[in-house]
Amino acid sequence: MTDSSTARAVSPDSGAPWSVAGAWPAAPGVHRIPLPLPNDGLRAVNVYVLESEGGLTLVDGGWAIEAARERLEAGLATIGAAVGDIGRFLVTHAHRDHYTLATVLAREVGAHVSLGAGERANLDAMHDAGPTGTPSGGGSAVVLRRCGAPGLAAEWVRHAQGLRVDLSEWGHPDAWLDGDDVLEVGDRALDVVPTPGHTRGHVVFADRAAGLLFAGDHVLPTITPSIGFEPAPVANPLGDFLTSLARVRGLPDLRLLPAHGPVTDSSHARVDELLAHHEQRLAACRETVAADGSATAHDVATALPWTRHARSLGELNTFDAGLATMETRAHLELLAARGELVRADHDGVTVYTRPADRTG
Ligand SMILES: [Zn+2]
C-alpha cells in the first residue's frame, strides 16, 4: 500500500529524500537513479547502474514514459555515460514500472534483457488479454469477483479498458533467469534468487562479495509490497511470499537496495519486520472471520484498517481498494492452506469459516 512517509524517507547515498533526481553512489561501482512514475503513490522507481568494462548493466528499467527516459539520460550523463552504453538489463519482475522502459531502450540500443523464468506466464497472459487488458481466463477482475467484490471488479474492468496496453512494451526477454544462475557483471558475481510472491516470477540479485541485495519489490524498506497482483494469479501468493522472505533471511545480512525507497543497512532487519507484519495481519483476518462466523475476502477487507492512517476500505480509491481486497484474499488463502480456516465456493465467491472443531 502507498504511504506518505515513504516520500520523505532520506537515502544515505544522496542525503536527501530518496526520490530526488540524480545518480547517487549506492555502493562502489553502483549508482542509484530514481525515475519518476505517472500518478503513483510510490513516487519513483530506483534503477541501479552497475559499471563494468564491458558497459553498463541496469537492475530494473523504469516505466516507459518520456519523463523517466529524460531522467535516466540526465542521471547517466552525470557519470559520463549515455543510454547507448547500456549492455544489459536485469529486471526483477514484469510490472510496468520495472520492465517496460527496459524493453523499449533495449530494442533501441541493442541491449540484452533478462527476467525471471516464472514471469513467462504473466507475459503470456497479457498477450492473451490483448490491448484492452481484459483477460479471458484470469487476472484481477476475476480474482475480485471471487473475493465477493463484483462492484470493484466491474470498476477495475472499466478502468483497464480506458488504459490500452501497448503490447510492444511487453515482449519476451532475451533470457529467462533460473534460481541456479550466477551472473557475471564485470568482476561481480550476482546470484539469482527466485522470490515469488509480489509476482510469481520475481527474482532478487545478491552480490555476496560486495554485501549487496538488489531487492526489487520483494523487500521494500518503508512499505509492504502488494502480493500477487499479476495477470496470471497463483493460488497462494502470500505463502510463496513468506517462503521467499525466509529464503532471503537465509542469505547473509546484506545492504538493501530496494526498487522503491531509500537504501538501508540490513536486509535481515527489514525481512523480520515484514514477517511480523504479515503474522499480525493473518491474526486480524482470522479474528474477523471468527467474529462474523463466515466472511468473504471483501467482508474482511471492509472490517480491517488500511495504511498507517487506519483508513477504511471505502476511503481508498478503486485501485488501492482492489489491491487491499486481493491482499486480504491472499491472507485468507494462506490461513486456509494452514488449516486455520475452511474455504468453500458459493457461486464463484470464496467464503471462509472457522474449522468446526475450533471454538473461542
Ligand atoms: Zn515496483
Query: Using 50, 70 and 90 to split pLDDT, how confident is the model at 197?
Result: very high
pLDDT of residue 157: 82
Q: Is the pLDDT of residue 6 over 90?
A: no
Q: Is the pLDDT of residue 360 over 90?
A: no
pLDDT tens for each residue of 17-50: 999 999 999 999 999 999 999 876 678 999 999 9
CA of 340 to the centre of ligand 1 (A): 31
CA of 96 to the centre of ligand 1 (A): 8
Average pLDDT of 175-187? 94
In sequence order, what are the beta bridge partners of 342? 353
CA of 260 to the centre of ligand 1 (A): 7
Q: Is the pLDDT of residue 347 over 50?
A: yes
Q: How far is CA 48 from CA 51, 96, 119, 122, 257, in A?
A: 10, 16, 21, 24, 8
pLDDT of residue 302: 97
Phi, psi of 320 (to 5 degrees): -65, -35
CA of 7 to the centre of ligand 1 (A): 15
CA of 206 to the centre of ligand 1 (A): 18
Write down the mean pLDDT value for the chain. Answer: 92
Q: Is the pLDDT of residue 117 over 70?
A: yes
CA of 216 to the centre of ligand 1 (A): 7
Is pTM beyond 0.85 here?
yes
3-class secondary structure per residue, the chain: CCCHHHHHCEECCCCEECCCCCCEEEECCEEEEEEECCCCCCCEEEEEEEEECCEEEEECCCCCCHHHHHHHHHHHHHCCCCHHHEEEEEECCCCHHHHHHHHHHHHHHCCEEEEEHHHHHHHHHHHHHCCCCCCCCCCHHHHHHHCCCHHHHHHHHHHHHHCCCCHHHCCCCCEEECCCCEEEECCEEEEEEECCCCCCCCEEEEECCCCEEEEECCCCCCCCCCCCCCCCCCCCHHHHHHHHHHHHHCCCCCEEEECCCCCECCHHHHHHHHHHHHHHHHHHHHHHHHHHCEECHHHHHHHCCECCCCECHHHCCHHHHHHHHHHHHHHHHHHHHCCCCEEEEECCEEEEECCCCCCC
CA of 284 to the centre of ligand 1 (A): 26
CA of 54 to the centre of ligand 1 (A): 28
Average pLDDT of 265-286? 97
Q: Which of these, 21, 14, 7, 19, lies nearest to 73 by C-alpha position? A: 21
- From CA 136, how far away is CA 133, in angstroms rounded? 9
Q: How far is CA 323 from CA 3, 140, 145, 183, 289, in A?
A: 14, 9, 13, 33, 20
CA of 86 to the centre of ligand 1 (A): 21
Q: How far is CA 96 from CA 25, 102, 240, 305, in A?
A: 25, 10, 21, 28
Average pLDDT of 330-343? 96
CA of 46 to the centre of ligand 1 (A): 9
Which pairing describes strands 55-59 and 86-91: parallel, antiparallel, or unpaired?
parallel
CA of 43 to the centre of ligand 1 (A): 10
Say yes or no: domain 133-159+266-360 is CATH 1.10.10.10.
yes
Average pLDDT of 265-269? 97
pLDDT of residue 1: 42
pLDDT tens for each residue of 51-104: 988 899 999 999 999 999 999 999 999 999 999 999 999 999 999 999 999 999
Superfamily of domain 4-130+165-265 in CATH is Ribonuclease Z/Hydroxyacylglutathione hydrolase-like (3.60.15.10)
pLDDT of residue 141: 87
CA of 105 to the centre of ligand 1 (A): 18
CA of 59 to the centre of ligand 1 (A): 12
pLDDT of residue 132: 66
pLDDT tens for each residue of 244-264: 999 999 999 999 999 999 999
Q: Which residue has the higher pLDDT, 174 or 235?
A: 174
Query: Using 50, 70 and 90 to split pLDDT, how confident is the model at 5?
Result: low
CA of 314 to the centre of ligand 1 (A): 24
Specify whether the CB–CB gap between 10 and 262 falls below 8 A: yes
pLDDT of residue 89: 98
Query: Using 50, 70 and 90 to split pLDDT, how confident is the model at 307?
Result: confident
Domain assignments of the chain as residue spans, ordered by start: 4-130+165-265, 133-159+266-360
CA of 289 to the centre of ligand 1 (A): 31
CA of 343 to the centre of ligand 1 (A): 31
Count, residues in the chain: 360
Specify whether the CB–CB gap between 181 and 221 falls below 8 A: no
pLDDT of residue 139: 76
